[in-house]
Structure 1
């Protein structure tokens, strides 16, 4: 799964790496401890005057489908299981037409202890070359019935990150075996050559696209590294570059 991640790069760096465009007034808050329900950047493609444009937007992390009566449903929908995303009512409309990429510098995962009472140990998972991860995501627009037309907060843009099974325990690449031991779920990254296909708003073949992402995830993850970090990351109020620094876990 993905419950916390890091996105502290400047908007200019994100736009350049995503090969996208952004509104001049777009503001992104640096965070080394991004948590569900907070505002996060997403990359999407949409038709503008007959041409497909790749853009960076800000969305709330936790998908709120258009038919929801209350935005609170997004609290439970910050991840979407790739195995069921096409059938689940919350996600099945978005996966056909509103796909996005959620950029991150890395994410946190907690390793369970050997006994029920043992403390979980947090690890920071990130690309070895410090490039961005682009997680496969979905987005939705939700209209708040409690707000008046013309209210700038009438429409809510929200997002979710797809997950899949972790790599096999006998994978040839050491980091993939580490990921298997860390957690049984993996937030699904997009390979560079798959990004455009996933974002393409005119491609409606959701089954094929989800399978493409699942099939390419291990290859992308083989370029990642893991390092143990301090348990301070477990508190969302803690937010700073020290959270990704190595921690021995011995004390």
Structure 2
């Protein structure tokens, strides 16, 4: 909340430490809501907007989904097509969020010509200064048609993280060169200015407006990512049953 400018949640929110977050797991999200004039004294941005912390299921479930299975395939959204895909195109106009994280894992595939049986190697990627990453995300509310009207679990909040192309080789920046060789996709981080624009709760009027905002996020992603550092970590992170601070310790 301190790093994002969010207000203290009105309801009780339980956020447990998790060193191995998998799709369909609960994650924190930041979003902004317009509020009535009498509530603006609580806002951190002023002008009737309130930045809030919520807990969402990682894997977007759109309102038209018949069940939760859609979310298993929608934990990432390609920024190049997010304004066109039915799962995401409504959310990108009106329900944008930020997904905060201390860091994330990415796997390096064996080099071409590597010996048979060579395995992928995991890397932990994080801001070098210990700050949070705020990934560009989308959120949706889904109503379970099988639940009773008075069931407190009837409504589900879910989210997805936008991705874009990894930095191109030859940038001259050590971190970006490492990211370029690690994977062909990059979860899109935001700096403070971009996050302010992304979280604006005003509904965008057209796919072109949404595409322009996505382009803004993508345009600054590499600069934001250049402040990261990468450490190779133990392959134990590949098993979601392993969950503890030892997973992010660099291999020696």
Matched, 1:223 2:230: no
Q: In structure 2, what is the equivalent of residue 29 of structure 1? A: 16
Alpha-carbon distance in structure 2 between the residues aligned to 1:208 and 1:190: 15
Moved over 4 A (4+): none
> RMSD across aligned C-alpha pairs, in angstroms?
1.1
- Following superposition, the deviation at residue 23 of structure 1 comes to 2.8
Q: In structure 2, what is the equivalent of residue 69 of structure 1? A: 66
SS of match in other structure, 1:83: coil
Alpha-carbon distance in structure 1 between the residues aligned to 2:11 and 2:69: 30
Q: In structure 2, what is the equivalent of residue 95 of structure 1? A: 92
- Deviations along 1:40-92, one digit per CA (max 9) or x if unpaired, are 00000012225211000000000000000111110000000000000000000
SS of match in other structure, 2:190: coil
Q: In structure 1, what is the equivalent of residue 237 of structure 2? A: 233
Alpha-carbon distance in structure 2 between the residues aligned to 1:58 and 1:197: 21
SS of match in other structure, 2:147: coil
Q: In structure 2, what is the equivalent of residue 211 of structure 1? A: 215
TM-score, normalised relative to structure 1: 0.91
SS of match in other structure, 1:215: helix
Alpha-carbon distance in structure 2 between the residues aligned to 1:237 and 1:18: 30
Matched, 1:243 2:250: no
Alpha-carbon distance in structure 1 between the residues aligned to 2:122 and 2:62: 31
SS of match in other structure, 1:44: strand
Alpha-carbon distance in structure 2 between the residues aligned to 1:188 and 1:118: 29
Alignment of structure 1 residues 97-116 onto 2, 5 Å: 97-114=94-111, 115=114
- Deviations along 1:12-45, one digit per CA (max 9) or x if unpaired, are xxx1111102235111011111111000000000
Aligned 8 A contact 1:95 1:206 in 2? yes
- Following superposition, the deviation at residue 172 of structure 1 comes to 2.0
Q: In structure 1, what is the equivalent of residue 28 of structure 2? A: 41
Alignment of structure 1 residues 83-232 onto 2, 5 Å: 83-114=80-111, 115=114, 117-204=117-204, 205-232=209-236
Higher strand share: 1
Alpha-carbon distance in structure 1 between the residues aligned to 2:154 and 2:196: 30
SS of match in other structure, 1:159: strand
Alpha-carbon distance in structure 2 between the residues aligned to 1:139 and 1:27: 19
Q: In structure 2, what is the equivalent of residue 10 of structure 1? A: none
SS of match in other structure, 1:86: coil
Aligned 8 A contact 1:197 1:203 in 2? no
* Structure 2: tracts of 5 or more residues without a match: 38-47
Alpha-carbon distance in structure 2 between the residues aligned to 1:24 and 1:66: 24
Alpha-carbon distance in structure 1 between the residues aligned to 2:191 and 2:151: 39
Alignment of structure 1 residues 42-57 onto 2, 5 Å: 42-50=29-37, 51-57=48-54
